[in-house]
Every structure is written in structure tokens, then in C-alpha cells.
Amino acid sequence: MGNFLPNELIERLRSRTDFDSEAFAEIHERGDKVTSVRLNPAKPAKLDLALSETIPWCKEGYYLTDRPVFTLDPLYHAGTYYVQEASSMFVSYIIRALGLDHKEDVRALDLCAAPGGKSTLLNSVLNNSSLLISNEVIKSRALILVDNLVRWGNPNVVVTNNDPSAFSRLPGYFDVMVVDAPCSGSGMFRKDPGAIDEWSLANVKLCSDRQRRILADAQACLKTDGYLIYSTCSYSEEENEDIVDWLITTHGFESISVDIEDSWGITKTRSRGKQGEGYRFYPHQVKGEGFFLSVLRKKTSEETFSRRKIKKEKSDVPKGSIDKWVKDPSLFYTFMQGDNIHIVPKEMEEDLAIIRSVLYLKNAGTNVGKWSGRELIPAHDLALSNHINMGIEAQEVDLDSALNFLRKETIDIDLFSNTKNGWCLVRYRGINLGWVKVLSNRINNYYPKEIRIMNL
């Protein structure tokens, strides 16, 4: 066996009956790269991706035969798909196995959400009437999370930037909480060989302690009989099965089992103390990277707060200001965030008031645009929204023009010769990319400079 993998990790894994050390070492020595994407069902498009077989535990997920330069694909920037590691898409299967995809008005929390893979997945799989709170404690990563959820285009999402302890202010509020916990990262050794040098038993211990703190601080926000989906990209029992034992013993959770297909290659495992069930993904057995997931249900009684004490905020959005911009505006509650008009589904008005009273919000719903006092200046978020009025003026462009637009470069005015002056959507293969303003002698490119393509 090659000596590039940490000996301490291999020795510990060898004690497991479900582990083949020779096959594990061989797959890492080969260094095969597996690329996979998950399609956005709300934005079907003709893609130039080399899709091969479907990922068996996620019907929206596909393996690619070749890895393209995603930066050069306008449809990637438009949110028609998300580049996500295949093993982590197992969350999709879990949500469906629990029946949460058909349940209305689910309140879901993705506690450690950046960069947004599991949040966009939840946002697709859960019912449209469900509310998703996506949280990230690190400010810079929270901005990336906002960008990815804006691309996904749904208004039933709130992005927060809070320490996990802040969610104890929402006791018994959530039906499901996903915690993809910060970990020592051994499951990423094949994908990122640099992670091998950073791995140590001391870091495993540090991560295990951090995982317990995160879970202990946040678990009160999960309602009685609510589900906790806990995952890591680590192989270490201290971060996986031992955490499951601790949750059962200390916080009154019970382990939940779901049926899986033997052909998938996923290894079912049980914790040493309480026999809690988990699912291990080894790269020599599945077409994906290392991953662990366990499903638990909260059995302790959790008091919740009185909703009667929550006062709804009166909307100060000018009447009719979004009517020409949003499809079916009567379905949405409108509110101001600074100078910008935002929308969320009308049935989530009370939830928004609750969340705003206890958490720090980075983004809520869809930003429709800035109100100038007389008219709306449309936001980039609106251009990517799945609820934009598709009757708005738009111009289809070719690949070169689309990439120029995404670089925030000057756009050829001749492309817009049949377009009225004013705000206009730029489309590529029928999918909105963003806004330009058509003037008599030039085209002003309004693609946000902070997300423009820097190099081609």
C-alpha cells in the first residue's frame, strides 16, 4: 500500500469489518476524478454537458464523462444546474424516503449551508410551500451562499448569517434540520490531495468537539418528532458514529433507518454504543467521494413559542410597484429591505416576521429591485427568478455575446435593433442571464460586477 495516506487513519479503518484497505488505497493511488451535476427542475434547458448515467440516489443528478470549464457556460451562471459531489446528493434520497417532499409547509434549516449544494437540493426536493432557512456563520461564505440560491431562482428561501446558538431562539420551530458539519475532510482525499497534509488525529478531535457544540447549541430549534440529517465528509468514527451515539444518549434522539439498494454500494453501519444507523460512502465502492450520513428523530418534548405574540409588519411597498415585473404578484407578500423590494410567498409572511425578529438576515425571498421613488430599477435576482414575468422585453443572444455580457463588457447595439428602449433581459437558449438597458445609441450592461467572469 502507498504511504501517502495517513497511517493513523488507515489503521483505525482496518479495524472495521466493512473496510477494504487495499481497494481504498488503490482508488486513491489511481486518482480518478468523478464529476457530477444536479439539474434545476425549475429551469429546464438544452445543456452542452456530457451527461452519462443518472446518480442512482438522486434523480436530478448526473455523472459527466468529461469535466468542462463551467465558467464558460452561461447556463451554469443562470442556475440551470449545480456542480455537486455525487455522494452528498444522497440527502435528496433521504428527504424523499422520509416523505418530506410531498408534505406541505415544511420548515427546513440547513445549518452549515455554504456554498449551497445541499440548500439548492433541499429547495428543489421540498414542496414549493415549504420554507428553507439557509445559514452560514462565516460572512464571506454567506455571500457565496446567497449567490448560489439567487441563481436557483426560488422565493421561499431566507439566508441567515448566524452562529448556530442563535437558533435556540426558535425552539421547536423546524420540521427538519440538515447539519453537514465542519469535519477533518478525509473523505475528500481523492478529490483534494492537499487535504491529506492537513489531516491529524488532533484535528479529528477538534472537529468532533466542534460538531458537538454546533449540534448542542442548535438542537432546541427542532420540533418534537422533527428529523435531523447529520453528515460529514470524514471517515473517522469520532466524527460520525460516535456523534450519533452522543445524540441518542445526550439529546434524546432515535435512529431512523431507510431502505437502500445493495447495488448502490453504500455501506450501512451502526454505532458501537446505541446501534444508531448510518450510511458510509467509500470511493472504491461508490462512484463518488467519502461521505457519512445518519438520520435521527427528536423524541424529547420541545416547548415552542407563542405565535400570537408575533406582530406582522405592515408592508410599505408602493401599491402596484411589482405588478409588471412579477408573475402572479397576488401570490406574494412584499416588503422593503433597505431601498429594495423583496417578495416571499404570501403564506410565509408570519414566518418572515418571526425570523427577522431573532436572526441576522443576509437575504430574504427574491429581491425584485430598488424603488427610486417613481419607478423600479430591476434587480439581478429578479432576472434569475423562476417567478419573473416572462412577458418582459428580452433578447436572445449567441454564446460569444452571452460571455461578453457575463464579463460585463460592451454589448453590440445591433443585437437589439428590434428591441424597445428601456430595460431588457438577456437570454441564452431561452434562459435569463441578467439585465441591460437599451438606449438610442448604446447598451448599458447591468450584470453585477462582483460576480462577473474575470477571465476566459
* Residue 115 is assigned to a ligand binding site: yes
* Residue 172 is assigned to a ligand binding site: no
* Residue 424 is assigned to a ligand binding site: no
* Residue 434 is assigned to a ligand binding site: no
* Residue 41 is assigned to a ligand binding site: no
* Residue 25 is assigned to a ligand binding site: no
* Residue 193 is assigned to a ligand binding site: no
In the residue annotation, 233 being an active-site residue is answered as: yes
Helix axes 241-251, 201-218, angle to 10 degrees: 30
Burial 239-277 (b: 16+ CB within 10 A, else e): bbbbbbbbbbeebbbebbeeebeeebbbbebebeebebb
The x, y and z cell numbers of residue 279, run together, are 450510511
**AA letter at 192:** D
* Residue 180 is assigned to a ligand binding site: yes
CA–CA dist 334, 222 (Å, integer): 28
Q: Which listed residue (58, 183, 207, 233) is catalytic? A: 233
Q: Please state, in angstroms and as integers, the Cα–Cα distance from residue 192 to each residue in 32, 38, 197, 297, 451, following that order.
A: 11, 21, 10, 33, 25
Given the C-alpha cell 455525487, which residue does it identify? 86
* Residue 113 is assigned to a ligand binding site: yes
* Residue 163 is assigned to a ligand binding site: yes
Known binding-site residue numbers: 112-118, 136, 163, 180
Known binding-site residue numbers for S-adenosyl-L-methionine: 112-118, 136, 163, 180
* Positions marked active-site: 233
